Chains A and B, each alone.
Chain A
Amino acid sequence: QVQLQESGPGLVKPSQTLSLTCTVSGDSIGSGGYYWSWIRQHPGKGLEWIGYIYYSGSTSYNPSLKSRVTISVDTSKNQLSLRLSSVTAADTAVYYCARGLLRWDYWGQGTLVTVSS
């Protein structure tokens, strides 16, 4: 059973960097079988793809966030990470990690990150 679990601060101050980690169990990121993604959902709103990473470190980002986003992977810990810099209130959202590139078949439960001073 593949499981993903997001973790990180639930509150980030404006202009700071949001950092989240996703720990994967039941599958190995390093096996190279899948891409791994971050997706967010603003409160009461729709879904927004942030970006994805392959075990090799190859990444692709949503052009609207590209200048502020970094996704990385640690295959030894079976984790992927998200960093979003210079956050504003508009970055307040539930952040999900998910397995996949073109469609996402396993998701974490999501973690709410609020940007506020």
Chain B
Amino acid sequence: DIQMTQSPSSLSASVGDRVTITCQASQDINNYLNWYQQKPGKAPKVLIYDASNLERGVPSRFSGSGSGTDFTFTISSLQPEDIATYYCQQYDNLPSVTFGQGTRLEIK
């Protein structure tokens, strides 16, 4: 199985800060990586697909980059509504689809 290592596991930042989360795959997954946002008590919501493509309707302050084994998710200017847990998800090794362990983002 491909393991996805996400860091940090938790993060505290101020409104307006630039926030970065990383995800490392245990082997090359090309750009087959998505990023999700999950707010408490809610289903996840896809923000970024294929590593760097912004899902329709998602604010442009969210972005993703990377390829191969190393990926980055960025919020350019943190907003209060961005408080959530963020997950990366790889789909290079179908049918085995795996997620990172999540990053809990809090407001400082």
A and B: bona fide binding partners: yes
B-side interface size class = 20 to 34
| Beta-carbon contact of A46 and B99 below 8 Å | yes
| Beta-carbon contact of A109 and B43 below 8 Å | yes
Assembly CA distance A51 to B97 (angstroms): 9
CB-nearest residue of chain B relative to A51? B95
Binary interface encoding of chain A residues 55-74 relative to chain B, with 1 for a CB under 8 A from any of its CBs, else 0: 00000111100000000000
Number of A-B contacts (CB under 8 A): 47
Assembly CA distance A63 to B42 (angstroms): 27
| Beta-carbon contact of B95 and A63 below 8 Å | yes
| Beta-carbon contact of B98 and A49 below 8 Å | yes
What 5 A-B pairs are tightest by C-beta distance, nearest first?
A107-B43, A60-B95, A49-B97, A47-B99, A102-B91
What is A's interface to B at a CB cutoff of 8 Å? 46-49, 51, 60-63, 96, 98, 102-105, 107-110
Q: A46-B99, A60-B94, A103-B34 are in contact. List 13 more A-B contacts (CB 8 A).
A: A46-B87, A47-B36, A47-B44, A47-B89, A61-B95, A63-B95, A96-B43, A98-B43, A102-B91, A103-B46, A104-B44, A105-B55, A109-B42
- List 18 A-B pairs, Cβ < 8 Å: A46-B87, A46-B101, A47-B36, A47-B87, A47-B89, A47-B99, A48-B99, A62-B97, A63-B1, A98-B43, A102-B32, A103-B49, A103-B89, A103-B91, A104-B46, A107-B43, A107-B44, A109-B42
